[in-house]
Each structure stands twice: as structure tokens, then as C-alpha cells.
Structure 1
Amino acid sequence: MTGNFELLCLENPLLDIQGQGDDKLLEKYGLKANDAILAESKHMDLYEDLIQNHSAKLIAGGAAQNTARGAQYILPPDSVVYVGCVGKDKYAETLKEACAKAGLRVEYRYDEEQPTGRCGVVITGHNRSMCTDLAAANCYKLDHLKGEEVWGLVEKAKVYFVGGYHLTVCVDAVMALAEEAASKNKIFMLSLSAPFICQFFKDPLDKTAPYWDYVIGNETEALAYAESHSLNTTNIEEIATALAKLPKKNEKRDRTVIITQGTDPTIVAAAGKDGKVDVKSFPVHEIGEEKINDTNGAGDAFAAGFVAGVVQGSDLATSVDMGQWIAKLSIQELGPSYPFPKQTYSASS
């Protein structure tokens, strides 16, 4: 069986430049051991430093592109299309080839001036510090999404997944998908992506909030949201409940909030028709620490499995289980990757 491009993902395609580092390297560039930031001028030497001095690997990245590849890993061929902006350079071709190998269809906008975006990933133990220079990824335009071919794919898709990082780039494109979903009763899913999105891009994030059918984040993003929105709590279940209760544009669909917590249970808050919120806790799939290779992209992988479950029409528990299953596979690989030969999902006992 093959799909009909039921899932469309939008965000910032990046080339991940991933190398082993230490506290000295983090200190050199003013980075934290487990963080995600946008690059400033002081960070621009990091990328070449990783390549020249830290045996960096070049991997197709960008959070939602990782999620798109992972969802396609699970779903039938031709199920997923990914949209974003790259430069006209060899790194764009590297990304395109990697996605083609994964069976992912990409519809890139090619910017004439900026190079393909890159993300420096400094690995220290099981931590990773991500420093992103968006470059061409920052140049996405609404007219590309609205173009005949790409908008035809938008109309064909049943589920839209948007990475929150795109709120720093083209809010109009995010809102176009959100409004299309609400008007056609399709599913709109957003990832909070990073604490700084909740802190410094609060207004565009809040603009999308009424359209969330599903919103995914981790505990640090949830805490950042709570702080920036004065929720006066650090309890993850209470934060998830508050998100679930936010006003909603498409009242035909209830909102579901998913908060991952690393090795701690995944919290899911599902709003009901009666206004009540059902909160559940799902223990994560256990894995020996000696099997963990790299946690970079684990959240993207979880989102991949979860959204694949949604596309398939699976129930909530199965979708969470699929997310945890593929996240467990991913952290045994280098970078945001998935094992080959391809493994097939089976429900955990």
C-alpha cells in the first residue's frame, strides 16, 4: 500500500553539524549543555570548529524534518511531504538526497541569496547543545506555500504538523495551514520546539493557540510556557491542563496536549466535550544506559511516532506508544536518525 501524502510538515530544514565536545567547548561559545538557541555573531565559528576539530558528522536536520522522516519511516510510502526553505548549494542537495533515501518528499523553496541553514550540535555525554544559524531557512515565503503545486499538497493532506521554530520565520504560512485545518476540519498539530519560543515568541505562539488540535512539548518547554504566561505553577499536569483548556477555533475537535519528560512518564491532557480535562500518565519504554548513543532528536522522533499514529487513526495510547517506540530506536543511533534495515512497530506489552 502507498499513501496519498496525508501528512504535511512545515518548518526549517537544516544541516546538522554534530560533534563530540566538552565543557571547554561549551564555555568557548557561551553554550549550555542541554539547550537550543539561535546563533549570534559570536557563534559563527562554531560550525567550522566542529568540522575541523571535533570529527563532526553531517546529518539532515531541522526538528520537523526529523519528525517528517520518522513519520515516513512508519507510514506507507508517499505518506509525508515536508516544506521549508534552503539555499542553492551542495548542502541543500545533501538534505534532499538524505530525505529521498528516507522516502520523504520535500518541496523546498530555494533562496537565491542565503546558504542552507545549519545547526551546530555539541554532544557532551548524553546532553546536546544546539546552536542554529537559520540562514535560508529564515527566508521562507507564503507565496511558496500558496503556489499551485504545494497548495495542492496542502489541500490533499489530512494532518498538518508545524514545528514551533517556524514561528521565528513565517507566521503567515503557519496561520495559512491553521486556518485551512479549522475550515476543513482537518488536524493541526504544533510542537513547542524550544523554551525560547515560549519566552520570546509568545505573541505568534499565542496567535496559533486557538488552532491547536494537538500540541507537543517537553517539560522544559512546558515550564517556559507556564512562566511566560504567568500560570503560577511548575506542575506539569497542571500546565498541560491549562493548555488543553485554552479557547479553540474548531470546536468539532477537542484539544490534546502531550508533554514528554525524558525518562519520566509522558503526560497527556485531553479536553472533553463537557469542558473537563482527562490527564493520563504513560511510562516510557525502558532502555539500558549503555545502549544510548545520542539523545539529539529524541523529541522529534517521539513526535514522528505520535503523528504517524494520528495519521493512521490510532487511539491515544497507541499513538503515544508509537512515539516512545521510535524515540527509543532513535537514541540508539547517531543524531536524529532511524535504524536500517527498517523496523516495524509492534505495541509494547
Structure 2
Amino acid sequence: MVSEGILLGYGNPLLDITVSGTEEFLKKYDLKSDDAILAEEKHMPMYSEMVETFKDVEFIPGGATQNSLRVVQWLIEMPKATTYFGCISKDKFGDILVEKATDAKVNVQYQYTDKAPTGTCAVVVMGNQRSLCANLAAANCFTESHLDDADNWALVEKAKYYYIAGFPLTVSPSAILRIAKYACEQNKVFCSNLSAPFICQFFKEPLMQTLPYVDFLFGNHEEAIQFGIANEFNTNDIKEIALKSSQLPKENKKRSRVVVFTCGDKSTVVAKDGKVEEYSIIPVEPSEIVDTNAAGDAFVGGFLAQLINDKPISDCIKCGHYAANVIVKRSGCSLPEKHDYR
């Protein structure tokens, strides 16, 4: 039974700045299509250039975990069933994030900083591909001390499910580990995500420290390949990588790890208990695709919306596919007022 505060997430809250880009723009800022990276000094002029030179600039609340929680709220229609931690600044973009997340009925409990402005993410759309470049800014200032606040920790204790994407491993791995260990000790469900190839490449240590506490691990095809390379699985077969990932050491022996890898327009791969299953996606015509940005976040949101209702994995996958199908036909992680999922 879904209840208030049943699902808690921590992530990097960002305001997505979305434009329809050009090959010339990608090349200028050394960006690749269908990739996600952290901004470097060379990328900093890009954000103002996008706002000043492109037509039809869209501002959409983003950040992987926050996106997924907004999708959960949209599907289950219970105010404050989800709680979200992250760090922002008290500025214009921060105000937009608070407003949008509150409108989505997410119980946002942000940590505030005056050390940096609210984080932004450049979303450069090229046909069916997108390039993401995140300037974490304030999101990079989140500290584990946020969990020391009695009211915040009470929200952690209240939750029965947790979802933290891989991106905050670059910010506060200690906060992630604290929540993950608590979930394990209490036999609650902890979910995470590989999130981007660079997480597997350059943040393998905190990723592998957290993995023993992960009950559900999500990722896409590219991330799975990189995870396999990082762990010397010696295969590019997604099903084999999923299986080997599910069998890595796990602290909570009371439940098996479930690994879920989405593969674009191919079937979703699920590994559990030494078995691998594939689930067909909902077909979508290429002409219907507006933007693949946040499709993975939407899939996770749909999955979690059923998981917290104690539904079987097949139902979770079905709802994940539905949510992703809706999102790719829209710009960014924007949602219709009502869903028609049954």
C-alpha cells in the first residue's frame, strides 16, 4: 500500500536548458551526441550562449533522480509519496525548481548553499539524439550533514524504498552509503543507476562501495558496456553483463539483486537469480520521437511506481516502458497533466 513518504531519493537538482542544436555547436564545445558529461571550464560560456542565440529555449526541471520521482508522483497521484534531497541556491533557477517540484507533489527538502548558483544542464537535441552537459554548481555542494538534521533523517526512516541515481557519487558518496547501509540494516529496498558511462569509468570506487547494498540496479546499453569493461567481464553481451552484475557481492542476503538494462528500441534485459529475461518495449515511430532526454529517468519512474505498490517485476517493466514511451514524444522530462496507464 502506497503511503506518504514511502519513496526517498537523493540527487543533483538541475534546471535543464534545452535547445535544438547543430553539429557546429556540438563541435565548438567538444560534445558528443547521445552522451552525458560534467561541465569543464571550456563549457561554461555555453549556457549563456544557448539562452542568447537559440530560438525556442526551454527551461525544464531536471536531474536524474528528481525526474524519476516526478514521474512516480504523476503515475500514483498521491501527494508527497516521494521525498527528495538535493542542494540548490536561493536564486531564480532555484525558485523555478522548487515551484515545479512542488507542483508535481514531490516533498522537496532541499539543502541550500550560497557558495554556488543553482545547477543547470545543457540539453542539446539533435534529431533523436541528445547531448547532456551538467554544470552541477550548487548541486555539488550537498553534504552528508543534511542527514544529521532530525527532521530529514525522520524522512529517511519513514521511507520503505530508496532511489539514488549514480550521478551523486561525484558529490557525496558518504551520504549515499549512509542511506544504503540503513536500508540494508532495516531490510528496505535500495535502488540505484549506472547513470552515465563516465560514472563507471572515473567513479568506479564509490560505485563499487555502494553496489553491495543495491537491490535494484538500472542502466542503459552504453552504461552496461562500460560497467562490464570496468569490472573485466570480458564480454559485450548485455545479457551476460546483466547476469554477472546481478551476481556481484551483496550484503542483504534476504533479497536477490535485480539488474535492469534498457536497450533503446530493443528489448529490456532483466537479470535475477541466475536467469535473464527480455521484455519487449512499446514500439514508437521515429517520426513521433521529439527528444530521448530523460527517457531512462521516466522508465525508472514508471518501474518504481509499480515497485512501491508491491507489483511483480513484469508489471514494473510494463509501466516503465509506458512512461518512457510518453516522455520520448515530448521535450525533456515534461509530462501530460494526466496519465492513461492501466
Quickly name the TM-score band, shorter chain normalised.
Answer: over 0.9
Q: Report 1:278-297 matches (<5 A).
A: 278-297=275-294
Which residue of structure 2 aligns with residue 328 of structure 1? 325
8 Å contact kept, 2:9–2:163: yes
Gaps of 5+ in 1: 272-276
Matching of residue 152 in structure 1 with residue 154 in structure 2: yes
Q: Distance in 2 between matches of 1:121 and 1:264?
A: 24
Contact 2:2 / 2:308 at 8 angstroms: preserved in 1? no
Comparing 297-306 and 141-150, the one that deviates more = 141-150
Hey, what does 2:28 align to over in structure 1? 28
* 8 Å contact kept, 1:2–1:77: no
Is this contact kept in 1: 2:228–2:241, CA < 8 A?
yes
- Residue number in structure 1 paired with 2:67: 66
Match of 1:206 in 2: 208
**Which residue pairs with 2:238 in the alignment?**
236
SS in 2 for 1:5: coil
User: How many Å apart are 1:2 and its aligned residue?
Assistant: 7.4
Aligned-residue RMSD, C-alpha: 1.0
Partner of 1:98: 100
Partners of 1:213 and 1:229 in 2: how far apart? 19
Offset from partner CA, 1:118-145 (integer Å, 9 cap, x none): 1011111011000011111001011112
**1:312 aligned to 309, 314, 325, which one?**
309
- What is the count of residue pairs matched by the alignment? 340
Question: What is the CA distance between 1:256 and its match in structure 2?
Answer: 0.2
Larger CA deviation: 229-238 vs 53-62: 53-62
| 1:338 CA drift (Å) | 1.4
Correspondence for 1:186 among 180, 185, 188: 188
* Conserved 8 A contact 1:333-1:339: no
- TM normalised by structure 1 equals 0.96
Per the alignment, in what secondary structure is the counterpart of residue 4 of structure 1?
A: coil
| In 2: Cα distance, 1:24 partner to 1:145 partner | 44
> Match of 1:52, as an amino acid?
E
2:174 is matched with 172
Work out the CA distance in 2 between the residues paired with 1:72 and 1:193.
21
Cα distance in 1 for residues equivalent to 2:304 and 2:219: 13
Distance in 2 of aligned mates of 1:288 and 1:195: 27
AA at the equivalent of 1:344: D
The one-letter amino acid paired with 2:132 is: M
Q: C-alpha offsets along residues 192-239 of structure 1, whole Å, 9 cap, x if unaligned?
A: 110000000000000001001000000100000111111110000000
Counterparts of 1:307 and 1:3, CA distance in 2: 14
- Secondary structure of the structure 2 residue equivalent to 1:45: helix
Paired residue type of 1:304 = G
Q: Is the 8 A contact 1:64 1:300 kept in 2?
A: yes
Hey, what's the Cα distance between the residues in 2 that align with 1:245 and 1:321?
24
The letter for the 1-side match of 2:316 is S
CA–CA distance in 2 between the matches of 1:147 and 1:119? 29
Large movers: runs of 4+ above 3 Å: none
Q: Residues 18 and 335 of structure 1 are in contact (CA less than 8 Å); yes or no, is this contact kept in structure 2? A: yes
Name the CA distance, whole Å, in 2 between partners of 1:139 and 1:343. Answer: 35
> Displacement of 1:117 after TM fit?
0.6
Whichever residue aligns with residue 58 of structure 2, its letter is: K
Report the alpha carbon displacement of residue 175 of structure 1 after superposing the two structures with TM: 0.4
Q: Please, which runs of 5 or more residues in structure 2 have no aligned partner? A: none
Distance in 2 separating the partners of 1:268 and 1:206: 20
What secondary structure sits across from 1:77 in the alignment? coil
